[in-house]
Structure 1
């Protein structure tokens, strides 16, 4: 799924212009990212839950050379599908 696809769905559903639909899609994605940054999670009922998890620093291997590489600690987003979504798919 892309922002363009999301904008097209919004445009068809709301019967608005393409520019307004793209703006709405951008605003939606921006709001979700802001919620993940501030609250550490975001739940979309009947779809699923996005949560932010911390990752530890670790060593990995460079697939080309095979030599060890240090990977810094960071954050990643995980998704857990709701039972409604699981049943629909």
Structure 2
């Protein structure tokens, strides 16, 4: 799914211009990102839950050279599908 796809669905559903639908899609994505930064997660009922998780610093291996590489601690996004989504797919 891309921003263009979301924009097209909004445009078809609401009957607005492509520019307005693109702006709405961008605003939706921005609002989701802000909510995830603020609360650490975001839930779309009947779809699933996005959550932000912290990752620990670790050692990894470069697959090309085989040399060890240090990976810094950071944050990543996880998704858990709702039972309704699992049943539909």
TM-score relative to the length of structure 2 = 0.99
User: Does structure 1 residue 55 correspond to structure 2 residue 55?
Assistant: yes
- Residues 59-86 of structure 1 show CA distances to partners (whole Å, capped at 9, x for unaligned) of 0000110000000000000000001100
Residue 56 of structure 1 and its aligned partner are, at CA, apart by 0.2
Residue 54 of structure 1 and its aligned partner are, at CA, apart by 0.2
Q: Which whole-Å CA distance do the structure 1 matches of 2:60 and 2:19 have between them? A: 44
Moved over 4 A (4+): none
- Residues 30-69 of structure 1 show CA distances to partners (whole Å, capped at 9, x for unaligned) of 0000000000000000000000000000000001100000
Residue 13 of structure 1 and its aligned partner are, at CA, apart by 0.4
Q: Which whole-Å CA distance do the structure 1 matches of 2:25 and 2:45 have between them? A: 18
Residue 88 of structure 1 and its aligned partner are, at CA, apart by 0.3
Structure 2, unpaired ranges of 5+: none
Number of matched pairs: 89
TM-score relative to the length of structure 1 = 0.99
